[in-house]
C-alpha cells in the first residue's frame, strides 16, 4: 500500500515563504506530484519530481529526496490567490496517483 | 477550464437508486482516470483507462461501481443501489504522453467534478 503525510494547515502573510513537507511510504514509486485545489474547484497540476533535486517553476519550487521518501513544495512571495489546498501525490505504475490528505494554506494580508 | 468536462455537475438521489456520470476528456488524451473526493480529503483513485481498456480498478471499488470507455473517448461511471456513503465529489482526469508541449503522462488534467448527494 501507499501512505502520504503532510501538515493539515499552514497560515502565512502575503509576501512570505511557505514550505509544505510530504513524507511517503510506498511500493512502486515513480515520482511525486503536487496539485493545487481552490475551494469548489478541481485539482490543478503544479509540479512533478521523478529524480532527486529541486524543480523551479516561477514562484513555486518542488524538491524530492527518494532516499528519504520525502519531498516539499515551496511557495514564495505568497499572494492572496495562493490560499488553497495543496496535495502531494505519489505516482505509481500506470500513472495512478495516490494523494495525501492535503495542506490548507491560508494567506493573510 | 482544463478542457475536461463532466456531466452532471450535481446529482441528488435517494438511497437505492442508480446514477450515471459522464466525463469528456481532452480529445487527444488516451488515458482517463476516475477519482472520488470527500470533504477535507485528497482525491482517491477509483479506476483508469488507456484508450478503451480499463487497466486498473481500486480494491476500494465495490461491485456496485462500473466504468466504461467504449470508444476510447468519453467515459461513464455508474453506481448501482447507491448508499449514503457514496456521497462525494467524483472527479475525472485525463492525460497524454504529450501534454502542454511536454512529453509526459505526469500531468493529469481534472474536470470540475460531479457532486453526488445520496439522501
What distance in Å separates the CA atoms of residue B8 and residue B17, rounded to the nearest whole number?
Answer: 16
What distance in Å separates the CA atoms of residue A21 and residue A65, rounded to the nearest whole number?
Answer: 11
C-beta atoms of A31 and B106 within 8 A: yes
What distance in Å separates the CA atoms of residue B26 and residue B96, rounded to the nearest whole number?
Answer: 9
CA dihedral (A89, A19, B37, B99) positive or negative = negative
Residues of A in contact with B40 (CB under 8 A): 101-102
The confidence score (pLDDT) of residue B98 equals: 63
**B109 contact A CB<8A:** yes
Nearest CB to B106; choose among A43, A91, A101: A91
User: Which residues 6+ apart lie within 8 Å of A47 measured at CB?
Assistant: A33, A34, A55, A57, A60, A61, A62, A73
Of the pLDDT bands very low, low, confident and very high (cuts 50, 70, 90), residue A93 is confident
Average confidence score pLDDT of chain A? 94
Q: Whose CA is closest to B96, among B27, B43, B35?
A: B27
Q: Please write the tens of the pLDDT for every residue from B1-57.
A: 789 999 999 999 999 999 999 999 998 899 999 999 999 999 999 999 999 999 999
Enter the C-alpha cell of residue A42.
478541481
C-beta atoms of A94 and B48 within 8 A: yes
Of the pLDDT bands very low, low, confident and very high (cuts 50, 70, 90), residue A26 is confident
**Which residues between 26 and 55 in chain B have a beta carbon less than 8 angstroms from any beta carbon of chain A?**
31, 33, 35, 40-45, 48, 50, 55
Average confidence score pLDDT of chain B? 91
What distance in Å separates the CA atoms of residue B40 and residue B43, rounded to the nearest whole number?
Answer: 10
Does A48 have pLDDT greater than 80?
A: yes
The confidence score (pLDDT) of residue A71 equals: 97
Q: Please write the tens of the pLDDT for every residue from B75-104.
A: 999 999 999 999 999 999 999 876 555 556
Amino acid at each position: 500500500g501507499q501512505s502520504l503525510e503532510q501538515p493539515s494547515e499552514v497560515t502565512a502573510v502575503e509576501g512570505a515563504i511557505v514550505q509544505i513537507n510530504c513524507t511517503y511510504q510506498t511500493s512502486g514509486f515513480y515520482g511525486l506530484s503536487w496539485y493545487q485545489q481552490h475551494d469548489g474547484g478541481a485539482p490543478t497540476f503544479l509540479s512533478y519530481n521523478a529524480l532527486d533535486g529541486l524543480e523551479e517553476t516561477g514562484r513555486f519550487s518542488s524538491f524530492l529526496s527518494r532516499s528519504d521518501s520525502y519531498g516539499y513544495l515551496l511557495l514564495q512571495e505568497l499572494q492572496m490567490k495562493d490560499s488553497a489546498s495543496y496535495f502531494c501525490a505519489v505516482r505509481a505504475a500506470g500513472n495512478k496517483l495516490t494523494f495525501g490528505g492535503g495542506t490548507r494554506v491560508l494567506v493573510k494580508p | 477550464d482544463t478542457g475536461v468536462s463532466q456531466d452532471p455537475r450535481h446529482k441528488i438521489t435517494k438511497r437505492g437508486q442508480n446514477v450515471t456520470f459522464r466525463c469528456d476528456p481532452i480529445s487527444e488524451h488516451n488515458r482517463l482516470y476516475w477519482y472520488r473526493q470527500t470533504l477535507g480529503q485528497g482525491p482517491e483513485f477509483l479506476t483508469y483507462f488507456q484508450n478503451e481498456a480499463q487497466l486498473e480498478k481500486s480494491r476500494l471499488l465495490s461491485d456496485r461501481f462500473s466504468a466504461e470507455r467504449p470508444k476510447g473517448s468519453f467515459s461513464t461511471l455508474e453506481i448501482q443501489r447507491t448508499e449514503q456513503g457514496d456521497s462525494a465529489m467524483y472527479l475525472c482526469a485525463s492525460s497524454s504522453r504529450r501534454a502542454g508541449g511536454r512529453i509526459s503522462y505526469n500531468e493529469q488534467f481534472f474536470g470540475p467534478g460531479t457532486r453526488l448527494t445520496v439522501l
